[in-house]
Amino acid sequence: MHVGVWKLNSGGIPPIISKLEVDSLERAEFEMKVKTATELVKEINLLLSIATHSSDFQTVSTRLDAANEKTIELQKIAAEEPRITLTNFGAAEKLAEKARDMLVKLQYDRKNDAALWCYHARFYLKTPREHLLNHGLMMRCSESDLPIIGDLVGGAWHHALPTFKEMGVDILEFSRGSVASDMGSIPADGGFYMDFLLEFRAIVESGIEIPEMVIMVDALCASRPDFGYVKERHDNALTILKRAHVDVSNFIKKSPPKKQERF
């Protein structure tokens, strides 16, 4: 007599087991097997879901391998316990087949050196604006096909890390952390300093004379409270320009000396 039926599903993915048919729940050992089988079903569903929704070779490969191992473990439990019946393997096998097809495609891309790349600019006053404008640019291609952006010191291409969404996991993303800059540690996307650098580099690369440049940098620093912090960090507009490798030597020579106060 069947006294228990479990319908298991995870995130809309067809389950490995649609029901566990049992004729007794009296023995603790049997209950433990049922519990283990139920947990395996959930894990297999999640692993196959991730494998079929990801575009990352390593993610698909590892999740598919793990799903296969857990499926073998589940089948072993069912073979040892005749009161546990596994059904709906057809739907699960279709998911596994889809994941294997994805793996073959990704493996082909990998052999041809195709990968997902992301451009990271360096957040420094001397970094040309071209690099800053391309920060976060994503490309899928071989390394040899990556475009060269400006000089080689303003930024670099890095392998892009897959997001949880790309891996098929419906949870909040972690912060991408922080990066170094000449303002110290800042958010990986540049935060307010990215805004400042874009406007600052537009001034530096405009070709105007140094006196005008100093005036415009002062005005930029005064335009926002957080921009003012940049000036505080570097003392004055001239120091900021010097750190950006702008030659201000002639301007400094022509500037009148400060009056010394007598006490």
Residue 17 lies in a domain: no
The predicted pLDDT at position 173 comes to: 56
- The answer to whether residue 263 scores a pLDDT higher than 70 is no
CB atoms within 10 A of CB 29: 8
**Residue whose structure tokens are 């960090």:** 233
- Find out whether 40 and 34 touch, Cβ atoms under 8 Å: no
**Residue whose structure tokens are 């409270």:** 225
Residues 63 and 125 both lie in one domain: no
Residues 33 and 131 both lie in one domain: no
The predicted pLDDT at position 74 comes to: 84
SS3 242: helix
- The answer to whether residue 214 scores a pLDDT higher than 90 is yes
Report the mean per-residue pLDDT for the chain. 77
SS3 12: coil
Residues 183 and 237 both lie in one domain: yes
Which structural domain range is residue 228 located in? 115-161+179-253
Residues 234 and 189 both lie in one domain: yes
Phi, psi at residue 177, to the nearest 5°? 85, -155
Residue 19 lies in a domain: no
Residue 132 lies in a domain: yes
Position 138, amino acid: M
Phi, psi at residue 178, to the nearest 5°? -130, 165
Question: When comparing pLDDT for 128 and 176, which is higher?
Answer: 128
The predicted pLDDT at position 26 comes to: 56
Q: How confident is the model at residue 4 (pLDDT cuts 50, 70, 90)?
A: very low
Residues 190 and 238 both lie in one domain: yes
Distance, CA of 14 to CA of 48 (rounded, Å): 10
Residues 141 and 239 both lie in one domain: yes
Residue 144 lies in a domain: yes
Please, how many CA atoms are within 13 Å of residue 117, restricted to the half-sphere of its CB?
A: 21
Residue 227 lies in a domain: yes
The predicted pLDDT at position 130 comes to: 95
Q: What is the DSSP letter of 176?
A: -
Question: When comparing pLDDT for 261 and 184, which is higher?
Answer: 184
Question: When comparing pLDDT for 29 and 11, which is higher?
Answer: 29
Q: How big is the chain, counted in residues?
A: 263
Residues 187 and 232 both lie in one domain: yes
Residues 222 and 191 both lie in one domain: yes
- The answer to whether residue 126 scores a pLDDT higher than 90 is yes
Residues 53 and 97 both lie in one domain: yes
- Find out whether 99 and 63 touch, Cβ atoms under 8 Å: yes
Which residues have a Cβ under 8 Å from the Cβ of 143 and sit 6 or more positions away? 113, 115, 117, 157
Q: Of 110, 142, 169, which residue is a domain's last?
A: 110
Please, how many CA atoms are within 13 Å of residue 249, restricted to the half-sphere of its CB?
A: 2
SS3 159: strand
Residue 197 lies in a domain: yes
Distance, CA of 136 to CA of 117 (rounded, Å): 9
- Find out whether 248 and 238 touch, Cβ atoms under 8 Å: yes
Distance, CA of 232 to CA of 135 (rounded, Å): 26
Residue 220 lies in a domain: yes
Number of domains observed in the structure of the chain:
2
Tokens of 101: 């097809």
Q: How confident is the model at residue 1 (pLDDT cuts 50, 70, 90)?
A: very low
Residues 145 and 227 both lie in one domain: yes
Nearest to 70 by CA among 93, 44, 96, 95: 44
Tokens of 68: 């296969």
Nearest to 87 by CA among 20, 23, 3: 20
Residues 93 and 127 both lie in one domain: no
Residues 97 and 46 both lie in one domain: yes
The predicted pLDDT at position 209 comes to: 92
- What is the percent of the chain with per-residue pLDDT over 70, rounded to a whole number? 72
